[in-house]
Amino acid sequence: METPVAIVKDIVRKFLAENNIQESVNVPVQMTRDEFEGEVTIASFPLAKTFKKSPQEIASIIKEFIESRYADKVKHIEVKGGFVNISFSDSYWLEFIKTLVDSDKYPVFQKKSETVVIEFSSPNTNKPQHLGHVRNNVLGWATAMLLKRTGTEKVIKVNLINDRGIHISKSMLAWLKWGNGITPEKAGKKGDHLIGDFYVMFEKEYKKQVEELMNKGMSKEEAMEKAPLMQEARELLRRWESGDPEVLKVWRMLNDWVLKGFDETYKRLGIEFDHIDYESETYKLGKEIVREGLEKGIFYQKEDGSVWIDLTDVGLDHKLLLRSDGTSVYITQDLGTIELRWNRYKMDLMIYVVAEEQEYHFKVLQAILKKLGRPYADKIYHLSYAMVDLPTGKMKSREGTVIDADDLLDELHQLAYEKINESPKTASLSEEEKHDLAEKIALGAIKFYMLRVDPKKRILFRKEEALDFEGYTGPFVQYTHARIVSLWEKAQDKPASADFNYEFNRFERQLLKLMAFYGEVLQEATRKYDPSALTNFLYRLAKEFNRYYANTPIVKETDSLARSARLLLSRAIQQILNDGASTLGIPLPDKM
RNA sequence: GGGCUCGUAGCUCAACUGGAUAGAGCACGGGACUUCGGAUCCCGGGGUUGUGGGUUCGAAUCCCACCGAGCCCGCCA
């Protein structure tokens, strides 16, 4: 069954064709504003010039056009200024919600036989994941699900584990120096948290050394380089890269601890990947590509042995690709990683979900790939998102001023659990069920909080707000869903057909209007790689349902036809909430 | 110095991407059949959309300048 929006778009197309107007004229089809009657609106303004008539006149002509051939679907058309407000007929809407309830997916999108690879999360293995990673994880996941939902056939979610480099050496060095062989088991701690402690330890001691050297008259830059701890960390990195078995052994063990910790966090967040790459495995290919570029004369080598590329002709700077000691840098491994992926997937699009601070990095990466003549140079897209701030300022792992992902989830869980024990609806659940529910609410709260903001805008994380389960929140949507489930279960006579007469009230029309645009919202959110569009929509739909619920009896309704129509409508909304929330990765409990 | 992003109610965010009288949540004040689930609903105050120009039927949205905030331009990742 065609969606209302599709029908109106079709009307516009036919109208333009009959009047011999170029398709290129964009006539907006939009949701009717709340203060007017109708569900779908056509704005006629862009046609004023070609028609040489006033928008009002054109709107009237469109009205007649529709009335003359869509009489069965349309109840009423109102012209207000240049706007044509269309109210669909009650019978159309009834059929609409019935087919929605009967189908498992609404709307269905045409399949796109594309392969999209989306990389997200990409943690360093020197510390546990914090709030910033949570934003990345849920944004990446939701974006991948949106792509899939709107028809992309192959969406491949990949994680690139940053398991080598100077930062790992720092944690490793601290553990070697001060760890006394402690393990996660002995410490009674997740491995990622344990290693994170050593990272902070390193930074503390390192800072002391730098200050001492500066007191002796050294410049900051020199002190940072000459500090013994930094020297030792670099030495460790060199030994690692040269394959020193002793270093590799420790490295493997520590990495393993951290990755196990990550697994738990991912599992909790409901996030999984189709493939995991490790930079320790991709950087070598990167180095080969650097050699290739050097041979082709695209890169150049300085006297100290370091390798560079000159990007000043495309408005960027000179960029280092290999250090003078021969070890690789961040971008080296990225060159290798994307080459591997290309060989593996021949993807049509490669999305990197990476924080905005790396925008320059991706510009450079693309510029290098172009110079190397790689066919995938134009297929990369950096989905950049802004940082999460605390009221006290930036989060800094080095200083330990971060909100830890696991800790936050625990706190949310605990709070939800307390609320569950207070509520008469859930107090009788078993302990296991209570914790299961508390976890869903915790996830709903934090994910919604992260997803409701436009990715390119910073999130100011205020804990009281994130811990709030009322108003514009995930639990609000969850609660609405649970209400509808309860309604449906209570209904003795589940409506079997939609073949009857019923006149929808204004609350119901408001809901139908929103539902009609669900498909547009999905497409919009996908096109912009912006799940917040969907998050906002779900809240709006839930809000509207609660308003409806407070004003119109459903199961209590004595007229059986009205009851049937209202149950169908409620059920249809439940399905959209379900579809949207599962696309975002937000769990919806049946009871809460 | 150069590049990118963002400035909307006291606070946190929306605004169908150029459309109608700029809307929600939080906070504050008042209220809701002794509940089809009160984690809900209703009412209220609160705005020169950072400032100044421009583009046009129409600008929070596009262009220019300025002001303010953030990020980047590392032999860190």
The model's pLDDT over A315-354, given as tens digits with 9 standing for 90+, comes to 888 999 999 988 888 899 999 999 999 999 999 999 999 9
- What number is the average pLDDT over the span A288-311? 94
Closest CA to A215 of A226, A206, A223: A223
Residue A426 Cβ < 7 Å to strand B: yes
- Please report, rounded to a whole number, the percentage of residues in chain A having pLDDT higher than 70: 99
Residue A195's pLDDT is what? 95
pLDDT, position A23: 61
Nucleotide nearest to A324 (CA to C1'): B75
- Amino acid whose CA is nearest the C1' of B70: A458
- Model ipTM value: 0.95
- Per residue in A18-37, pLDDT (tens digit) is 888 766 678 899 999 998 99
The reported pLDDT for the residue numbered A24 is 66
pLDDT band, very low/low/confident/very high, at A117 (cuts 50, 70, 90): very high
* A78 CB-contact burial (10 Å; exposed 0-12 / middle 13-18 / buried 19+): middle
pLDDT at residue A568 greater than cutoff 70: yes
pLDDT band at A205 (very low <50, low <70, confident <90, very high): very high
| Torsion A25-A26-A29-A32 (CA) sign | negative
Read off the tokens for A394. Answer: 């930036």
Whether CB of A536 is under 7 Å from strand B: the answer is yes
- Residues 41-70 of A, Cβ under 7 A from nucleic strand B: 41, 43, 45-46, 48, 55
Q: Phi and psi (nearest 5°) for A130?
A: -120, -170
Distance of C1' in B51 from CA in A356, Å: 28
A482 CA from B22 C1′ (Å) = 33
**pTM score of the predicted model:** 0.96
Protein-covered nucleotides on strand B (Cβ within 7 A): 3-7, 11-17, 19-21, 24-26, 32-33, 36-37, 39-42, 57-58, 70-77
pLDDT for A393: 84
- pLDDT single digits (tens) A251-287: 999 999 999 999 999 999 999 999 999 999 999 999 9
Residues 306-325 of A, Cβ under 7 A from nucleic strand B: 306, 317-318, 320, 323-325
Greater confidence (A394 vs A555) lies with A555
Residue A391 predicted with pLDDT over 70: yes
A573 burial type by CB count under 10 A (0-12 exposed, 13-18 middle, 19+ buried):
buried
Rounded to 5 degrees, φ, ψ at A511 are -70, -45
